[in-house]
Structures are given as C-alpha cells and as structure tokens.
Amino acid sequence: MDPVERIVPEKDTSFGFIEAALALGHECLHALIHQLERRSGGTSSVSAPVRSMRIEGGRLVAQGDARRVDVSELDAVFIRKDPPFDAAYAYATQVLEGVRSQTLVVNDPRGLRDANEKLYALEFPRWTPRTLVTADRNALHAFVAEVGGRAVIKPLSGAGGFGVLSVSEGDSNARAIVDLLTNEGQQLAVMQEYLPAVSRGDKRVLLLDGQPLGAILRVPARGELRANIHVGGSVEPTELDAHERELVADVGQRLRADGLYFVGLDLIGGKLTEVNVTSPTGIRELSTFLGRRVSDDVIRWVEKKRAGTA
Ligand SMILES: Nc1ncnc2c1ncn2[C@@H]1O[C@H](COP(=O)(O)OP(=O)(O)O)[C@@H](O)[C@H]1O
Ligand SMILES: [Mg+2]
C-alpha cells in the first residue's frame, strides 16, 4: 500500500480494513509495492520486508524494524496502492502472480491487470453511457456533436477527478482540451456523453465478492463537474433503486469471475461510468451512515474465503 503517513483515518478505506482486521485479532503488515521481491525456484519465491501496523491515538503507525516475510504464508494480501496504475503497479501484479494460488490476493493480480477502470466499464454495454475511446481528435469532436453538443473527456489512467473535463461544441477551449487529453492525437482518451444527472450526484456502490455492501452519494460542489471527494464533493447517504440493483447484480457476477472482489462502481443517473478496482474508497463514509463498521464484513469474508466457506 501507500506509506502509512499518508493514510487519512477519516477517509481511508485501507484504514477501515486495518482497524477491522486488528479488532478481529489479526496482525496487519505493511510494505510498499516496489518492495515486493520474486526469486526463481523454491516455494518462498515472493517476499517483502514488512512492518507491523498499529492504531495509536486514532492514527495508523508502522512500528519496529522491517522483517522479511514469505508472502505465500500470509492469509491474505490487500493491494491498496492509490492509482495511477503505472509501471510499478503493473510489475507488482506480475510479482504477485507467484503467490496467487497460495494466498488470497484482493484484488486478483490478473483482474487488476485486465481491468482498466475506464475501459472495463465498456464490458457492460447495457449499462454504460455512450462512450468513445480513441486518440483520433476529429472522431472525438464528431462524438461531441453526436451526443448532443456536450461531452466529458477523461484520461485513461486518471483518478480522483484529475483531468476530467467538460467539452462543449463551439466552446473556444474545445480543441485545446481534446489536443491536451490526446497528447495531440498520440494517446487514447475516454469520451462519454454528458449525463446531466451528475448535478444530483455520482453514486459510489461498494461491492464485496459481487454483492453490494452499500452506497454513498457524492454531490459536486456548486459550479463543479466532478463529484469526487478529493475535489470537494460532499457525501450523502443513499440507497439503490430497482434499476441500480439490477445493474449491480449483473456487473457483480462478472467482477466475481474476474477476481475483482472489492470494487467501487460509479453510477450517474443509473449509468455505469467507471469501475474502480485498484484501491476503491468510501467504506468509512458508508460505515458512518449505516452506523456500523462495514469493513468488518470484508475481513469476515476474507476469513471465510480462507476457510473455504465463502
Ligand atoms: N459522463 C459523465 N457525465 C457527467 N459527469 C461525469 C461523467 N463522467 C464523469 N463525470 C464527473 O467526473 C467525475 C470523475 O469521473 P470518473 O469517470 O468517475 O473518473 P475518476 O473518478 O477516476 O477521476 C465524476 O464523479 C462526475 O462528477
Ligand atoms: Mg470516479
């Protein structure tokens, strides 16, 4: 995961997992993703220098000197490194291939490699808004017109709302925005029809092993397109309607099959805009609204999965 000093207890889902695991009597070990090692031969081929984590005065701390552990001997490994999904992230998933049949990795390294958060949504055409992924600038401008004159463009590797921009036909910035996001036609960008329902909020649905744990609604600040908490979106309690429950059940089956156990779906106006798999967040806010520690469900599920009963 990221360095412990960077963990914000009030907001970090990783903190929620650690708090629950410690409370349920587990030991929690910390390593950075580039500290994983893989050696040829033997069974202990994947290892990492780890430090034991504790919660002190409400903050997460890693204590003592690092000791090297054989990753295959751990009950579970959570990959909780914030995006972007860069080369270091991709290599970590490949190093963890060495233990994926020996321990539980959340999420499965193969699933993480296969499912780009923006592209993977296109696997569910029934539920996604009209979307185009291309580096072709003319095609992107034509798409803006095709969807009624307003669209949203995003980088493939972004997160937390970074680089997400609104493009309107006839706007004096429209060409500059498309040039920027495609690196002048050299890099893929994602464009979606603009969903006006975004002003009512972007619903984050958290799923565990294909089943919904619950949802929170992120409402953009006044005058802002992006609802992400990171850029000032406010968080409200919410529920799933019948249409959303059907969507979640359908997408959930596929997530389960792909080893994407802990996932955050982003829904705007009942449409699936993004499938967050790298390090989805929201469990702290959900726990506050539900009045119980939802991360306990995740740790209990890990226990059952290891016992072969989940
Ligand atoms: N198709 C869309 N229509 C309207 N608003 C959108 C659309 N796609 C994204 N947004 C806005 O931009 C924010 C970030 O987009 P998202 O695709 O979730 O990327 P990320 O959260 O990874 O940065 C959303 O929370 C929402 O407020
Ligand atoms: Mg999002």
pLDDT higher than threshold 70 for residue 33: yes
pLDDT higher than threshold 70 for residue 43: no
Ligand 2 centroid to 281 CA: how many Å?
Answer: 10
Q: Which atom of ligand 1 is nearest to the CA of 193?
A: 1
Total Cβ atoms within 10 A of residue 130: 15
Which pLDDT score is estimated for 41? 78
Of 154, 263, 119, 285, nearest to 218 (Cα)? Answer: 285
80 part of the active site: no
DSSP letter for 41, please.
S
* Mean pLDDT along residues 48-75: 96
Question: What percent of the chain stands above pLDDT 90?
Answer: 96
108 part of the active site: no
Q: What is the 3-state secondary structure (H, E, C) of 193-236?
A: ECCHHHHHCEEEEEEECCEEEEEEEEECCCCCCCCCHHHCCEEE
Give CA–CA dist 149/78, Å, rounded: 42
| Phi, psi angles (nearest 5°) of residue 119 | -70, -35
**Polymer length in residues for the chain:** 310
97 part of the active site: no
pLDDT (tens digit per residue) in 104-132: 999 999 999 999 999 999 999 999 999 99
Ligand 2 centroid to 218 CA: how many Å?
Answer: 10
What six digits make up the tokens of 133?
Answer: 């992924």
Is residue 215 within 8 Å of 276, Cβ to Cβ?
Answer: no
Which pLDDT score is estimated for 68? 96
pLDDT (tens digit per residue) in 86-110: 999 999 999 999 999 999 999 999 9
Which pLDDT score is estimated for 278? 96
Residue type at 81 in one-letter notation = K
Pocket of ligand 1 (CB under 6 A): 129, 152, 154, 158-162, 164, 192, 194-195, 198, 202, 220, 225-228, 266, 268, 273-274
Of 201, 213, 169, 212, nearest to 271 (Cα)? Answer: 201
Rg of the chain taking only CA atoms, in angstroms: 20
Of the candidates 154, 203, 271, 293, the residue annotated as catalytic is 154
Which pLDDT score is estimated for 42? 66
pLDDT band of residue 302 (cuts 50, 70, 90) is: very high
Give CA–CA dist 189/308, Å, rounded: 42
218 part of the active site: yes
- Please name the residue whose Cα sits nearest to atom 15 of ligand 1: 161
Which pLDDT score is estimated for 267? 98
